[in-house]
A and B are shown apart, each in its own frame.
Chain A
Amino acid sequence: MKYLYSILAFFTLLSCSKEVDDTLYKAYSPAKIDVNGGTWKSFILASPTDVAISVPKLVTDAAYLKEIDSLKTIVIPGLTAAQKKSVDFWGAGAVLRWNEIGRELAARYNVPPASNAAGVYPVPNAADPLADPKFPFANPPYTARALAYLSIAQYDALVAAWKYKYQYNRKAPSDVDAAIKPLLPSTGIPAYPSEEAVVAQASYVILLAMFPGEGPFLKEKLAEAKNSVIWAAKNVGSDVDAGASLGAGVAAKVMARAKTDGMSTANNQAIVPDLIARSTSLGFVNPWKSQESPVRPPMLPNYGAVSTINFDRKTLESIRPVIPYLENTAEFKKDLAELNDIQKNQTREQAAIANYWADGPGSYTPPGHWHRYACDAGVAAKYSELRMARMLAYVGSALMDAGIACWETKYYYYSPRPQQFGLKTSVGLPNFPSYTSGHSTFSYAAATVLSSFFPENSAKYYGYAQDASDSRVYGLIHFRIDCTVGGQHGRLIGDFAVKRANADGAQ
Chain B
Amino acid sequence: MSGSGTLRRFLPYLMVAPAVLILVTFYVYPIGYNVYLSFFSWNMRGPMKFIGLKNYTELFTSHDFTQTLMNTIWYTVMEVTLVIVLALLLALFLQKNTLVNRFIQTISFTPNIISLVSVSLIWMWLMNTDKGLFNYILSLFGGDAVGWLTDKRIALFSIVLVSVWKSVGFNVLIILSALGSIPPYLYEAAALDRASKRSVFFQITLKMISPTLFFLTLMNIISSFQAFETISVMTNGGPSNATNTLIFSIYKQSSEYYRVGYASAIAVVLMAIVGLITLVYFRVLNKRVHYR
Q: Do A and B come from one complex?
A: no
